[in-house]
Amino acid sequence: MPKLKATLWGALSAALGLLSILPSLHVSPRWGLDWAQLVATENPGLALVSGGLGVWRGLRARSGRAVLLGAIGLALGIRPHIRRKAVNRAMSEAMREGLGLGWQAQIPAEVHRRFAQSHRTDLWGPILYLLRIRVRETRDVLFAAPDGYPLRVDIYQPEERAGLLPAIIVVHGGAWFHGDKSNYAFGLHDRWLAAQGYVVFDVQYRTTGVWPAPLADVKCAVRWVKSQAARYGVDPERIALMGRSAGGHLALMAAYTANDERFPAGCVGGEPGALDESVKAVVVSYAPADLMLWPADPDGAIARLLGGLPGEIPERYREASPITYVRPGLPPTLIIHGQRDRLVTPVHSEQLFNHLRAAGVRSVLLRIPWGRHGVDSLIVGLTGPMIQYDVDRFLAWAFHHRDDSA
Helix, strand or coil, per DSSP, at residue 102: coil
| DSSP E strands, 184-326 | 199-203, 234-244, 281-285
* Annotated catalytic residue 373: yes
Candidate list 202, 341, 390, 392, residue with the active-site label: 341
Query: Which secondary structure element, helix H or strand E, spans residue 319, and what is its range?
Result: helix 314-319
Candidate list 245, 321, 349, 377, residue with the active-site label: 245
Q: What distance in Å separates the CA atoms of residue 133 and residue 233, rounded to the nearest whole number?
A: 20
Q: Dihedral sign for Cα 251, 253, 256, 260, please.
A: negative
CB contact at 8 A, 66 and 18: no
> 322-327: long-range contacts (C-beta < 8 A, 24 or more apart)?
322/249, 322/252, 322/253, 322/256, 322/287, 322/289, 322/290, 322/352, 323/289, 323/290, 323/351, 323/352, 323/355, 325/253, 325/256, 325/257, 325/260, 326/256, 326/352, 326/355, 326/356, 326/359, 326/361, 327/359
Q: What distance in Å separates the CA atoms of residue 150 and residue 204, rounded to the nearest whole number?
A: 9
Helix, strand or coil, per DSSP, at residue 394: helix
* Annotated catalytic residue 401: no
Candidate list 349, 373, 377, 392, residue with the active-site label: 373
Q: What distance in Å separates the CA atoms of residue 215 and residue 230, rounded to the nearest whole number?
A: 25
* Annotated catalytic residue 341: yes
Per this entry, what is the length of the chain? 406
Q: Which residues are catalytic?
A: 245, 341, 373
